[in-house]
Amino acid sequence: MIKETSNLQKALAVLLYDQFDCPDVEAGQDDDIMVEYIIGALIEKNENICPFKNYSAEPFCKTYKGECEKGLTIDCGADVELVWKEFMRID
């Protein structure tokens, strides 16, 4: 049975391909792969700006709460990809 590609998958693939450095992205890829592309695009756009500090009412991420307190950057040695996953509440 072939899984039909959703319109959301198609739109995300085009957005990622057009706006970010994602030349291998394809509609219909596994959700985990698409999440990796999206996180990569967010990192490309935001560099090391912490999403918790920039977008959230929560002061800091749970994992590195006491260590990330200077400015808007991820300044606590955290893996930027993991910070974005935690911000998006992705396991």
| CA 79 distance to own-chain centroid | 12
Tens digit of each residue's pLDDT (9 = 90 or more) over 25-79: 999 889 899 999 999 999 999 998 888 888 876 655 666 555 566 678 887 778 8
Distance CA 62, CA 76 (A): 12
- Which pLDDT does position 55 carry in this prediction? 81
pLDDT exceeds cutoff 70 at 1: no
Which residues, at least 6 apart from 58, have a Cβ–Cβ distance to it below 8 Å?
52
**Mean pLDDT of the 3-15 span:** 90
**Cα(56)–Cα(71) distance, integer angstroms:** 14
Task: Give the number of other Cβ atoms within 10 Å of residue 3's Cβ.
Answer: 7
Decide which of 24 and 76 is more confident: 24
Q: List 73's β-bridge partners, or say none.
A: 49
